[in-house]
Amino acid sequence: MSSKRILLIIGGGIAAYKSLELIRMLAKRGISSRCILTAGGANFVTPLSVSALSGDKCYSNLFSLDDEAEMGHIELSRSADLLVICPATADLLAKAANGHANDLASTTLLATDKPVLMVPAMNVRMWEHAATKRNVETLRGDGVDVMEPGTGAMACGEFGPGRLPEVEAIADEIESALARQSGPKPLEGRHVLLTAGPTREPLDPVRYLSNHSSGRQGYAIAGALAELGAQVTLVSGPVSIASPRGVDLVSVETAREMMAACEAALPADVFVSVAAVADWRPSSPADRKLKLKDEGKGPPALSLSENPDILSTISRLEKGRPQLVVGFAAETDTVEENALRKRARKGCDWIVANDVSGDVMGGADNEIALVTDAGVENWPRMGKTAVARRLAERIAEDLNGKGKPRIAAE
Protein backbone atom coordinates (compact mmCIF):
# COMPACT_ATOMS: atom_id res chain seq x y z
CA MET A 1 0.00 0.00 0.00
CA SER A 2 3.03 2.30 0.28
CA SER A 3 2.51 3.75 -3.21
CA LYS A 4 -1.26 4.24 -2.91
CA ARG A 5 -2.97 7.61 -2.61
CA ILE A 6 -6.55 8.66 -2.05
CA LEU A 7 -8.28 11.94 -2.80
CA LEU A 8 -10.29 12.72 0.33
CA ILE A 9 -13.27 15.06 0.00
CA ILE A 10 -14.29 16.36 3.42
CA GLY A 11 -17.96 17.27 3.60
CA GLY A 12 -19.73 19.71 5.89
CA GLY A 13 -20.90 17.76 8.92
CA ILE A 14 -19.96 17.48 12.57
CA ALA A 15 -18.20 14.20 11.72
CA ALA A 16 -15.70 16.13 9.57
CA TYR A 17 -13.28 16.24 12.50
CA LYS A 18 -12.91 12.46 12.21
CA SER A 19 -11.44 12.93 8.73
CA LEU A 20 -8.29 14.18 10.45
CA GLU A 21 -8.01 10.93 12.38
CA LEU A 22 -8.60 9.03 9.14
CA ILE A 23 -5.74 10.86 7.38
CA ARG A 24 -3.41 10.00 10.25
CA MET A 25 -4.50 6.33 10.36
CA LEU A 26 -4.10 5.89 6.61
CA ALA A 27 -0.62 7.42 6.75
CA LYS A 28 0.37 4.77 9.31
CA ARG A 29 -0.82 2.15 6.83
CA GLY A 30 1.28 3.66 4.04
CA ILE A 31 -1.60 5.39 2.21
CA SER A 32 -1.18 9.09 1.45
CA SER A 33 -4.07 11.57 1.22
CA ARG A 34 -4.66 14.61 -0.95
CA CYS A 35 -7.65 16.58 0.30
CA ILE A 36 -10.50 18.76 -0.91
CA LEU A 37 -12.19 20.68 1.90
CA THR A 38 -15.73 21.83 1.09
CA ALA A 39 -17.07 25.17 2.30
CA GLY A 40 -19.24 23.30 4.80
CA GLY A 41 -16.33 21.15 5.96
CA ALA A 42 -14.29 24.30 6.64
CA ASN A 43 -16.80 25.15 9.39
CA PHE A 44 -15.54 22.13 11.35
CA VAL A 45 -11.86 21.68 10.40
CA THR A 46 -9.31 24.12 9.03
CA PRO A 47 -7.29 23.92 5.80
CA LEU A 48 -4.14 24.24 7.91
CA SER A 49 -4.91 21.15 10.02
CA VAL A 50 -5.81 19.13 6.92
CA SER A 51 -2.65 20.22 5.13
CA ALA A 52 -0.43 19.58 8.14
CA LEU A 53 -1.68 16.01 8.56
CA SER A 54 -1.77 15.10 4.87
CA GLY A 55 1.57 16.74 4.04
CA ASP A 56 -0.01 18.19 0.90
CA LYS A 57 -1.88 21.31 -0.17
CA CYS A 58 -5.54 21.47 0.88
CA TYR A 59 -7.80 22.37 -2.07
CA SER A 60 -11.13 24.13 -1.78
CA ASN A 61 -11.75 26.70 -4.55
CA LEU A 62 -13.09 25.66 -7.95
CA PHE A 63 -12.06 28.99 -9.47
CA SER A 64 -8.55 29.24 -8.05
CA LEU A 65 -6.39 31.08 -10.60
CA ASP A 66 -3.34 29.03 -9.68
CA ASP A 67 -4.99 25.61 -9.70
CA GLU A 68 -7.46 26.04 -12.54
CA ALA A 69 -4.81 27.45 -14.89
CA GLU A 70 -3.81 23.79 -15.18
CA MET A 71 -7.42 22.48 -15.08
CA GLY A 72 -7.00 21.62 -11.42
CA HIS A 73 -10.32 19.81 -10.94
CA ILE A 74 -9.46 17.44 -13.80
CA GLU A 75 -5.96 16.76 -12.49
CA LEU A 76 -7.25 16.29 -8.94
CA SER A 77 -9.94 13.86 -10.06
CA ARG A 78 -7.35 11.57 -11.63
CA SER A 79 -4.34 12.04 -9.36
CA ALA A 80 -5.32 9.35 -6.84
CA ASP A 81 -6.13 5.65 -6.89
CA LEU A 82 -9.44 6.16 -5.08
CA LEU A 83 -11.78 9.04 -4.28
CA VAL A 84 -13.19 8.98 -0.73
CA ILE A 85 -15.96 11.30 0.45
CA CYS A 86 -15.91 11.44 4.25
CA PRO A 87 -18.20 12.55 5.65
CA ALA A 88 -20.58 12.23 2.70
CA THR A 89 -23.43 14.55 3.63
CA ALA A 90 -26.95 14.26 2.21
CA ASP A 91 -26.09 17.24 0.00
CA LEU A 92 -22.97 15.59 -1.43
CA LEU A 93 -24.86 12.35 -2.06
CA ALA A 94 -27.57 14.31 -3.89
CA LYS A 95 -25.07 16.24 -6.01
CA ALA A 96 -23.14 13.12 -6.99
CA ALA A 97 -26.29 11.11 -7.77
CA ASN A 98 -27.71 13.84 -9.99
CA GLY A 99 -24.54 15.03 -11.71
CA HIS A 100 -24.34 18.51 -10.20
CA ALA A 101 -21.03 20.35 -10.55
CA ASN A 102 -21.20 23.72 -8.83
CA ASP A 103 -18.15 23.53 -6.56
CA LEU A 104 -14.74 21.87 -6.55
CA ALA A 105 -15.91 18.69 -4.77
CA SER A 106 -18.89 17.95 -7.02
CA THR A 107 -16.99 18.94 -10.19
CA THR A 108 -14.14 16.62 -9.26
CA LEU A 109 -16.57 13.76 -8.65
CA LEU A 110 -18.15 14.29 -12.06
CA ALA A 111 -14.76 14.44 -13.80
CA THR A 112 -13.12 11.41 -12.20
CA ASP A 113 -12.36 8.12 -13.89
CA LYS A 114 -11.33 6.44 -10.61
CA PRO A 115 -13.34 4.33 -8.13
CA VAL A 116 -15.38 6.27 -5.57
CA LEU A 117 -16.17 5.41 -1.95
CA MET A 118 -18.85 7.38 -0.08
CA VAL A 119 -18.91 7.34 3.74
CA PRO A 120 -22.29 8.80 4.79
CA ALA A 121 -22.89 10.75 8.00
CA MET A 122 -26.09 12.68 8.70
CA ASN A 123 -29.17 12.92 10.89
CA VAL A 124 -31.19 9.71 11.09
CA ARG A 125 -34.24 11.36 9.46
CA MET A 126 -32.11 12.57 6.57
CA TRP A 127 -30.57 9.13 6.09
CA GLU A 128 -34.00 7.47 6.11
CA HIS A 129 -35.61 10.08 3.82
CA ALA A 130 -36.93 8.72 0.52
CA ALA A 131 -34.78 11.17 -1.47
CA THR A 132 -31.58 10.00 0.23
CA LYS A 133 -32.55 6.37 -0.33
CA ARG A 134 -33.07 7.09 -4.04
CA ASN A 135 -29.74 8.86 -4.27
CA VAL A 136 -27.88 6.00 -2.58
CA GLU A 137 -29.58 3.48 -4.86
CA THR A 138 -28.62 5.57 -7.91
CA LEU A 139 -25.00 5.88 -6.79
CA ARG A 140 -24.67 2.15 -6.14
CA GLY A 141 -26.23 1.47 -9.52
CA ASP A 142 -23.58 3.72 -11.05
CA GLY A 143 -20.84 1.63 -9.43
CA VAL A 144 -20.11 3.89 -6.46
CA ASP A 145 -19.39 2.15 -3.15
CA VAL A 146 -21.57 3.60 -0.38
CA MET A 147 -20.79 2.37 3.12
CA GLU A 148 -23.61 1.74 5.56
CA PRO A 149 -23.56 4.36 8.34
CA GLY A 150 -23.23 3.42 11.98
CA THR A 151 -26.11 3.40 14.45
CA GLY A 152 -26.12 5.23 17.75
CA ALA A 153 -26.54 8.55 19.55
CA MET A 154 -25.96 11.64 17.43
CA ALA A 155 -24.78 15.17 18.13
CA CYS A 156 -28.34 16.39 17.49
CA GLY A 157 -29.60 14.23 20.36
CA GLU A 158 -31.41 11.67 18.21
CA PHE A 159 -30.59 7.97 17.95
CA GLY A 160 -30.47 5.67 14.93
CA PRO A 161 -28.59 4.99 11.69
CA GLY A 162 -26.63 7.91 10.26
CA ARG A 163 -23.47 8.08 12.39
CA LEU A 164 -20.13 8.01 10.63
CA PRO A 165 -18.73 4.46 10.78
CA GLU A 166 -15.74 3.90 13.06
CA VAL A 167 -12.56 5.36 11.58
CA GLU A 168 -10.81 1.98 11.69
CA ALA A 169 -13.68 0.45 9.69
CA ILE A 170 -13.38 3.24 7.11
CA ALA A 171 -9.63 2.70 6.82
CA ASP A 172 -10.23 -1.04 6.39
CA GLU A 173 -12.76 -0.37 3.63
CA ILE A 174 -10.31 1.96 1.87
CA GLU A 175 -7.59 -0.68 2.03
CA SER A 176 -10.00 -3.26 0.64
CA ALA A 177 -10.99 -0.96 -2.22
CA LEU A 178 -7.35 -0.31 -3.06
CA ALA A 179 -6.50 -4.01 -2.85
CA ARG A 180 -9.25 -4.81 -5.37
CA GLN A 181 -7.39 -2.66 -7.91
CA SER A 182 -4.19 -4.70 -7.62
CA GLY A 183 -2.93 -7.16 -10.19
CA PRO A 184 -3.14 -10.98 -10.12
CA LYS A 185 -4.69 -12.47 -6.99
CA PRO A 186 -2.59 -15.23 -5.38
CA LEU A 187 -5.68 -17.08 -4.09
CA GLU A 188 -7.72 -16.81 -7.31
CA GLY A 189 -9.60 -20.06 -7.84
CA ARG A 190 -9.09 -21.25 -4.26
CA HIS A 191 -11.92 -22.03 -1.86
CA VAL A 192 -11.40 -21.15 1.80
CA LEU A 193 -13.80 -22.33 4.49
CA LEU A 194 -13.59 -20.27 7.68
CA THR A 195 -15.47 -20.25 10.98
CA ALA A 196 -15.79 -17.20 13.24
CA GLY A 197 -17.57 -15.82 16.28
CA PRO A 198 -19.00 -17.68 19.28
CA THR A 199 -21.59 -20.43 19.37
CA ARG A 200 -24.67 -20.35 21.60
CA GLU A 201 -25.92 -23.49 23.31
CA PRO A 202 -29.47 -23.01 24.65
CA LEU A 203 -30.36 -23.77 28.25
CA ASP A 204 -33.96 -22.75 27.72
CA PRO A 205 -35.77 -20.34 25.35
CA VAL A 206 -34.10 -17.27 26.94
CA ARG A 207 -30.69 -18.42 28.22
CA TYR A 208 -27.65 -19.98 26.60
CA LEU A 209 -24.01 -20.93 27.18
CA SER A 210 -21.57 -18.86 25.16
CA ASN A 211 -18.37 -16.77 25.35
CA HIS A 212 -17.05 -13.27 24.69
CA SER A 213 -15.84 -13.77 21.10
CA SER A 214 -16.75 -10.75 18.95
CA GLY A 215 -15.88 -12.39 15.62
CA ARG A 216 -13.68 -9.44 14.63
CA GLN A 217 -10.52 -11.43 14.04
CA GLY A 218 -12.26 -14.14 12.03
CA TYR A 219 -14.17 -11.61 9.93
CA ALA A 220 -10.96 -9.68 9.26
CA ILE A 221 -9.23 -12.87 8.08
CA ALA A 222 -12.19 -13.73 5.84
CA GLY A 223 -12.02 -10.27 4.28
CA ALA A 224 -8.25 -10.45 3.80
CA LEU A 225 -8.52 -13.84 2.07
CA ALA A 226 -11.24 -12.49 -0.22
CA GLU A 227 -9.00 -9.53 -1.11
CA LEU A 228 -6.40 -12.04 -2.30
CA GLY A 229 -8.95 -13.57 -4.66
CA ALA A 230 -10.21 -16.53 -2.63
CA GLN A 231 -13.79 -17.74 -2.69
CA VAL A 232 -14.52 -17.52 1.03
CA THR A 233 -17.32 -19.32 2.84
CA LEU A 234 -17.67 -17.77 6.29
CA VAL A 235 -19.62 -19.90 8.78
CA SER A 236 -20.36 -17.53 11.65
CA GLY A 237 -21.93 -17.71 15.04
CA PRO A 238 -23.98 -14.73 16.32
CA VAL A 239 -22.02 -11.45 16.06
CA SER A 240 -22.90 -7.77 15.72
CA ILE A 241 -20.53 -6.86 12.86
CA ALA A 242 -21.11 -6.70 9.12
CA SER A 243 -19.96 -9.47 6.81
CA PRO A 244 -16.83 -8.60 4.80
CA ARG A 245 -17.26 -7.70 1.14
CA GLY A 246 -17.06 -10.61 -1.29
CA VAL A 247 -17.62 -13.31 1.33
CA ASP A 248 -20.39 -15.95 1.37
CA LEU A 249 -21.86 -15.80 4.88
CA VAL A 250 -23.58 -18.77 6.51
CA SER A 251 -25.10 -17.79 9.88
CA VAL A 252 -25.47 -20.42 12.61
CA GLU A 253 -25.96 -20.50 16.38
CA THR A 254 -24.92 -23.83 17.85
CA ALA A 255 -21.80 -25.97 17.46
CA ARG A 256 -23.77 -28.73 15.77
CA GLU A 257 -25.18 -26.24 13.27
CA MET A 258 -21.64 -24.96 12.60
CA MET A 259 -20.38 -28.51 12.06
CA ALA A 260 -23.18 -29.24 9.59
CA ALA A 261 -22.58 -25.99 7.71
CA CYS A 262 -18.85 -26.75 7.42
CA GLU A 263 -19.51 -30.24 6.10
CA ALA A 264 -21.97 -28.84 3.55
CA ALA A 265 -19.40 -26.25 2.38
CA LEU A 266 -16.64 -28.80 1.69
CA PRO A 267 -14.55 -29.43 -0.37
CA ALA A 268 -12.17 -26.55 0.31
CA ASP A 269 -8.50 -25.86 -0.28
CA VAL A 270 -8.10 -24.29 3.16
CA PHE A 271 -9.98 -24.54 6.44
CA VAL A 272 -9.41 -21.80 9.03
CA SER A 273 -11.08 -22.53 12.38
CA VAL A 274 -11.25 -19.16 14.16
CA ALA A 275 -14.61 -19.64 15.89
CA ALA A 276 -14.75 -19.99 19.67
CA VAL A 277 -16.88 -23.13 19.65
CA ALA A 278 -18.50 -24.31 22.88
CA ASP A 279 -17.03 -27.66 23.94
CA TRP A 280 -20.21 -28.64 25.79
CA ARG A 281 -23.96 -28.09 25.45
CA PRO A 282 -26.90 -28.70 27.79
CA SER A 283 -28.04 -32.28 27.22
CA SER A 284 -31.76 -31.46 27.38
CA PRO A 285 -32.60 -27.77 26.86
CA ALA A 286 -35.83 -26.81 28.56
CA ASP A 287 -38.76 -25.83 26.34
CA ARG A 288 -39.85 -23.26 28.94
CA LYS A 289 -37.90 -20.75 30.98
CA LEU A 290 -36.18 -22.43 33.92
CA LYS A 291 -37.10 -21.14 37.38
CA LEU A 292 -33.72 -20.79 39.03
CA LYS A 293 -34.96 -19.59 42.42
CA ASP A 294 -37.95 -21.75 43.31
CA GLU A 295 -38.60 -21.60 47.04
CA GLY A 296 -37.12 -24.47 48.98
CA LYS A 297 -35.11 -25.74 46.03
CA GLY A 298 -31.43 -25.44 45.21
CA PRO A 299 -30.02 -24.58 41.79
CA PRO A 300 -31.17 -26.87 38.96
CA ALA A 301 -28.82 -29.67 37.95
CA LEU A 302 -27.15 -29.01 34.61
CA SER A 303 -26.33 -32.08 32.54
CA LEU A 304 -23.89 -31.47 29.67
CA SER A 305 -23.12 -33.33 26.43
CA GLU A 306 -19.97 -32.98 24.36
CA ASN A 307 -20.17 -30.98 21.15
CA PRO A 308 -18.58 -32.13 17.88
CA ASP A 309 -14.90 -31.19 17.51
CA ILE A 310 -15.00 -29.32 14.20
CA LEU A 311 -11.27 -28.67 13.88
CA SER A 312 -10.27 -32.25 14.69
CA THR A 313 -12.95 -33.72 12.43
CA ILE A 314 -11.86 -31.74 9.37
CA SER A 315 -8.15 -32.19 10.15
CA ARG A 316 -8.56 -35.98 10.12
CA LEU A 317 -10.75 -36.42 7.04
CA GLU A 318 -9.56 -39.37 5.00
CA LYS A 319 -11.08 -38.03 1.80
CA GLY A 320 -11.34 -34.39 0.85
CA ARG A 321 -9.14 -33.02 3.63
CA PRO A 322 -8.24 -29.40 2.86
CA GLN A 323 -4.66 -28.87 1.75
CA LEU A 324 -4.08 -26.54 4.72
CA VAL A 325 -5.94 -26.66 8.05
CA VAL A 326 -5.40 -23.77 10.46
CA GLY A 327 -6.71 -23.82 14.01
CA PHE A 328 -6.85 -21.11 16.68
CA ALA A 329 -6.00 -21.45 20.36
CA ALA A 330 -7.35 -18.85 22.78
CA GLU A 331 -5.32 -19.25 25.96
CA THR A 332 -4.91 -17.45 29.28
CA ASP A 333 -1.57 -18.98 30.35
CA THR A 334 1.40 -20.96 28.94
CA VAL A 335 0.20 -19.97 25.47
CA GLU A 336 2.90 -21.59 23.36
CA GLU A 337 2.98 -24.83 25.34
CA ASN A 338 -0.79 -25.23 25.13
CA ALA A 339 -0.77 -24.36 21.42
CA LEU A 340 1.87 -26.98 20.62
CA ARG A 341 -0.18 -29.62 22.41
CA LYS A 342 -3.37 -28.53 20.67
CA ARG A 343 -1.77 -28.74 17.22
CA ALA A 344 -0.69 -32.31 17.87
CA ARG A 345 -4.02 -33.25 19.46
CA LYS A 346 -6.20 -31.79 16.70
CA GLY A 347 -4.07 -32.95 13.77
CA CYS A 348 -4.09 -29.53 12.07
CA ASP A 349 -1.18 -28.00 10.15
CA TRP A 350 -0.96 -24.63 11.89
CA ILE A 351 -2.18 -23.17 15.16
CA VAL A 352 -2.63 -19.44 15.68
CA ALA A 353 -2.36 -18.91 19.43
CA ASN A 354 -3.13 -15.82 21.43
CA ASP A 355 -3.45 -14.74 25.05
CA VAL A 356 -7.06 -13.68 25.72
CA SER A 357 -6.61 -12.88 29.40
CA GLY A 358 -6.54 -9.14 28.55
CA ASP A 359 -8.58 -7.10 26.06
CA VAL A 360 -8.17 -9.29 22.95
CA MET A 361 -11.72 -10.69 22.88
CA GLY A 362 -13.80 -7.80 21.58
CA GLY A 363 -10.76 -5.52 21.26
CA ALA A 364 -9.12 -4.06 18.15
CA ASP A 365 -5.62 -5.53 18.58
CA ASN A 366 -4.11 -8.98 18.82
CA GLU A 367 -0.73 -10.54 19.57
CA ILE A 368 -0.26 -14.03 18.25
CA ALA A 369 2.15 -16.93 18.04
CA LEU A 370 1.98 -18.93 14.80
CA VAL A 371 2.79 -22.59 15.48
CA THR A 372 3.85 -24.72 12.50
CA ASP A 373 6.02 -27.79 12.02
CA ALA A 374 8.95 -25.37 11.64
CA GLY A 375 8.45 -24.01 15.17
CA VAL A 376 6.85 -20.97 16.78
CA GLU A 377 6.76 -17.48 15.27
CA ASN A 378 5.89 -14.68 17.68
CA TRP A 379 4.25 -11.74 15.92
CA PRO A 380 4.22 -8.31 17.58
CA ARG A 381 0.98 -6.79 18.84
CA MET A 382 -0.89 -5.21 15.94
CA GLY A 383 -4.40 -4.44 14.75
CA LYS A 384 -6.60 -7.40 13.92
CA THR A 385 -6.78 -6.26 10.29
CA ALA A 386 -2.99 -6.31 10.08
CA VAL A 387 -2.90 -9.79 11.65
CA ALA A 388 -5.50 -10.93 9.12
CA ARG A 389 -3.57 -9.65 6.11
CA ARG A 390 -0.31 -11.15 7.31
CA LEU A 391 -1.94 -14.53 7.91
CA ALA A 392 -3.72 -14.42 4.54
CA GLU A 393 -0.41 -13.75 2.79
CA ARG A 394 1.20 -16.69 4.61
CA ILE A 395 -1.66 -18.95 3.54
CA ALA A 396 -1.25 -17.82 -0.09
CA GLU A 397 2.49 -18.51 0.06
CA ASP A 398 1.89 -21.98 1.46
CA LEU A 399 -0.70 -22.94 -1.17
CA ASN A 400 1.47 -21.63 -3.99
CA GLY A 401 4.54 -23.51 -2.79
CA LYS A 402 6.47 -20.44 -1.72
CA GLY A 403 6.47 -21.24 1.98
CA LYS A 404 8.57 -23.74 3.84
CA PRO A 405 7.82 -27.45 3.22
CA ARG A 406 5.05 -28.56 5.56
CA ILE A 407 4.66 -31.76 7.54
CA ALA A 408 1.22 -32.30 9.05
CA ALA A 409 1.03 -32.80 12.80
CA GLU A 410 0.55 -36.39 13.90
Helix runs in 104-254, H state only: 104-111, 124-128, 130-141, 167-179, 216-227
From CA 177, how far away is CA 245, in angstroms rounded? 10
Identify the band that residue 372 occupies on the pLDDT scale cut at 50, 70 and 90.
Answer: very high
SS3 sequence, 338-390? HHHHHHHHHCCCEEEEEECCCCCCCCCEECEEEEECCEEEECCCEEHHHHHHH
CATH 3.10.20.30 fits 5-179, yes or no: no
Q: Give the residue numbers annotated as catalytic, written as ranges.
A: 156
CA-CA-CA-CA torsion sign (342, 343, 348, 351): positive
- pLDDT higher than 80, residue 246: yes
- Check if 5-179 and 191-287+301-399 are the same fold: yes
From CA 44, how far away is CA 46, in angstroms rounded? 7
Phi, psi of 32 (to 5 degrees): -90, 160
Q: What is the mean predicted confidence (pLDDT) over 215-222?
A: 92
Instruction: List, as residue ranges, the binding site for CTP.
Output: 279, 289, 308-311, 328, 342, 346
Are 236 and 197 in contact by the 8 Å Cβ rule? The answer is yes
Identify the band that residue 402 occupies on the pLDDT scale cut at 50, 70 and 90.
Answer: low
pLDDT tens readout for residues 33-72:
999 999 999 999 999 999 999 999 999 887 765 555 454 6
Instruction: List, as residue ranges, the binding site.
Output: 279, 289, 308-311, 328, 342, 346
Lowest mean pLDDT among 75-89, 118-132, 350-364: 350-364
Q: What's the confidence (pLDDT) of residue 230? A: 95
Q: From its phi and psi, is residue 378 left (phi > 0), alpha (psi between -120 and 50) or beta? A: beta
Are 370 and 221 in contact by the 8 Å Cβ rule? The answer is no
Q: Calculate the CA 165 to chain-centre distance.
A: 12
Identify the band that residue 358 occupies on the pLDDT scale cut at 50, 70 and 90.
Answer: low
pLDDT tens readout for residues 94-121:
999 999 999 999 999 998 888 999 999 9
> What are the residue boundaries of the structural domains of the chain, listed by start?
5-179, 191-287+301-399
Q: What's the confidence (pLDDT) of residue 69? A: 47
Mean pLDDT of the chain: 88
Q: How far is the CA of 356 from the CAs of 42, 237, 332, 336, 346, in angstroms?
A: 43, 19, 6, 13, 20
What letter represents residue 52's amino acid?
Answer: A
CATH architecture type of domain 191-287+301-399: 3-Layer(aba) Sandwich (3.40)
Q: What is the pTM (predicted TM-score) of this model?
A: 0.68
Identify the band that residue 5 occupies on the pLDDT scale cut at 50, 70 and 90.
Answer: very high
Q: What's the confidence (pLDDT) of residue 215? A: 92
Identify the band that residue 337 occupies on the pLDDT scale cut at 50, 70 and 90.
Answer: confident
Q: How far is the CA of 19 from the CAs of 42, 117, 167, in angstroms?
A: 12, 14, 8
Q: What is the mean predicted confidence (pLDDT) over 181-205?
A: 91
Q: What is the mean predicted confidence (pLDDT) over 266-286?
A: 94
- pLDDT higher than 50, residue 410: no
